[in-house]
Amino acid sequence: MSIRNTLRRFLAYWRDDCSGATAIEGVLAAAMLVSWYAMAYQFTDAFRVKTANTKGAFTVADAISREKAPVNVAYIDGLHKLFDYVTNAQGETWIRISSIYWDDDAKKFQREWSYATNGKPPHTNASIALEEDRIPSMPVGDTAIVVETSMQYNPMFGLGLGAGAHQNFVVTRPRGPRIVWED
């Protein structure tokens, strides 16, 4: 008996042996199923966080649009706490609220006042001009409130989605004549 025949017989035996195939297929299928469930959970969780951020942004916008008294730093910081509560924020968040109007002489939006939390810079007239395509047309003399929110998202699993921030940009009109800033 030659080595060649022995090797051929061993390879034929190994090729035709089916014991353990079901267990290996089960392990592979279980791993794929667990991965699929983890990805489905992660995408659902990311959508939940984004939806909560959107709801929180509109809640803050609605709250400030109804305000009749002058607002100040303490009021905006309170709105930030409201945003964190409504969204059940787990990561870092910030809000930026600005009052803007249309300047017909300059043919652009101008900032009346702006305040941001957590070290984010307030808007300037130049930064409002960069957001012009996101702001609807306004008649002369009308004001609007711009509410921006951001919430950090860190996925539970490293499957498909990376860490990032969910941001919203909401423009609303005050229910009264205008929102006044008080120093």
* Contact (CB, 8 A) for 96 and 111: no
Q: What is the predicted pLDDT for the residue at 82?
A: 94
Is-contact 120 156, C-beta < 8 A? no
Q: Show the 3-state SS of the chain.
A: CCHHHHHHHHHHHHHHCCCCHHHHHHHHHHHHHHHHHHHHHHHHHHHHHHHHHHHHHHHHHHHHHCCCCCECHHHHHHHHHHHHHHHCCCCCEEEEEEEEEEECCCCEEEEEEEEECCCCCCCCHHHHHHCHHHCCCCCCCCEEEEEEEEEEECCCCCCCCCCEEEEEEEEECCCCCCCCECC
pLDDT at 55: 95
> Taking CA 64 as the corner, what is the angle to CA 89 and CA 169, rounded to the nearest 5 degrees?
60
Instruction: Look up the pTM and report it.
Output: 0.79
Q: How far apart are CA 112 and CA 71, in angstroms?
A: 13
Write out the chain's pLDDT in tens, 183 residues: 688 888 888 878 767 766 666 777 788 889 999 988 888 888 888 898 899 999 999 999 999 999 999 999 999 999 999 999 999 988 899 999 999 999 888 888 999 999 999 999 999 999 999 999 999 998 888 899 999 999 998 877 776 777 788 899 999 999 988 888 987
- The domain limits of the chain are 42-172
Q: Encode pLDDT of 139-179 as tens digits.
A: 888 899 999 999 998 877 776 777 788 899 999 999 988 88
